[in-house]
Amino acid sequence: MADTAHLSHTRLVALDWGTSALRAFRLDDQGQVLEQRHRPWGIMNLPPAPAGHTDTEPGAAFERALQDACGDWLAALPSVPVLACGMVGSAQGWREAKYLDAPTSLDALARGLTVVRRGNAMPVHIVPGLLQRGALPNVMRGEETQVLGVLADAALAGPDPVLVGLPGTHSKWVVARQHRIEQFHTFMTGEVFAALRGHTILGKTMQAPATPDDAAFAQGLQVARGSDAALGLLSHIFSTRTLGLTGALPATAQADYLSGLLIGHEMASLAHLYPPAPHASGSPMPLVLCGEADLCRRYAIALQAYGFNAPTVAAQATVSGLWHIAQAAGLIAPCPLPTPTTQSQAA
């Protein structure tokens, strides 16, 4: 039985529920994290039904995952609202939260929450994803919450646009300002790296280094932006093999070199979309990265190699975004927003 007194300062249960994991957070009345838990219950790996039982209710496996992650919180504080973002709102999730059209705002996202009823218990509210229509449509689900969390930083509250990078399996670059997401682009850099390393001949000669090989990563960046850049990515990735065969690239350096090639080509596209020069207001567009620490470090190196200013790195942006959306939706009373922790990230 949970200690109700211990939990009494909880104002929101925030869920970051993706494909491979579920992270649950208890937030206080200032939006600060009191406690967090991590479970392997992503939407593609939910806890099975007990032996001898068969699920008859839609969403039963999601409810088991929720109970495993934070059932004691919810039982002790039955009136605390629950807000989730991520793939839990996809067509394969607990309940599909339809995409909203981009551009969109914080208020529109707050009005568009999908509600999952849970009998007499508090419902789970799910943040919708975003759809950017066009000849080549684009979507995001979960990243919209991170971006809104980044924008909660008072230093980014002005009228000028901010470029937010979310490196990962499907890297996103988002132009946003004043609680509004204006446009975004997706690069499958992380997934392509994993596929090339795990399922092609390139991975056969790779060996894991003891520590990240920044020199090999920088070499990959240089090839991606060098005099042979016109050859393109499909030609460049084969050099991972040929440099290894000729002894110019050790087995322990090949993965970092390939990472540099792929991220370098992503940077080349980004520099074409948003040239690293002052915009109309006369000052550079602020750059913020949000993601896993070492990946953000690599992207910071890559950005500066391509002429961008050193970015800042936001921490706990998803939590801040969920808090922000919960306030806008009226799930909790308005109060000061938590500010994502940011720090300069130089090469």
pLDDT given for residue 58 in this prediction: 77
pLDDT given for residue 136 in this prediction: 97
329 closest CA partner among 121, 82, 103, 133? 82
Please give the chain's pLDDT, 347 residues, in tens: 455 657 889 999 999 999 999 999 999 999 999 999 999 999 999 999 888 788 778 799 999 999 999 999 999 999 999 999 999 999 999 999 999 999 999 999 999 999 999 999 999 999 999 999 999 999 999 999 999 999 998 788 788 999 999 999 999 999 999 999 999 999 999 999 999 999 999 999 999 999 999 999 999 999 999 888 889 999 999 999 999 999 999 999 999 999 999 999 999 999 999 998 755 455 678 999 999 999 999 999 999 999 999 999 998 899 999 999 999 999 998 765 455 655 545 43
- Rounded to two decimals, what is the model's pTM? 0.90
How far apart are alpha carbons 347 and 344 in whole angstroms? Answer: 10
pLDDT given for residue 1 in this prediction: 46
The domains of the chain, with CATH numbers, are 1-140 (3.30.420.300), 142-325+336-347 (3.30.420.310)
Which residues are CB-neighbours of 79 under 8 A, at least 6 positions away? Answer: 122
pLDDT given for residue 347 in this prediction: 35
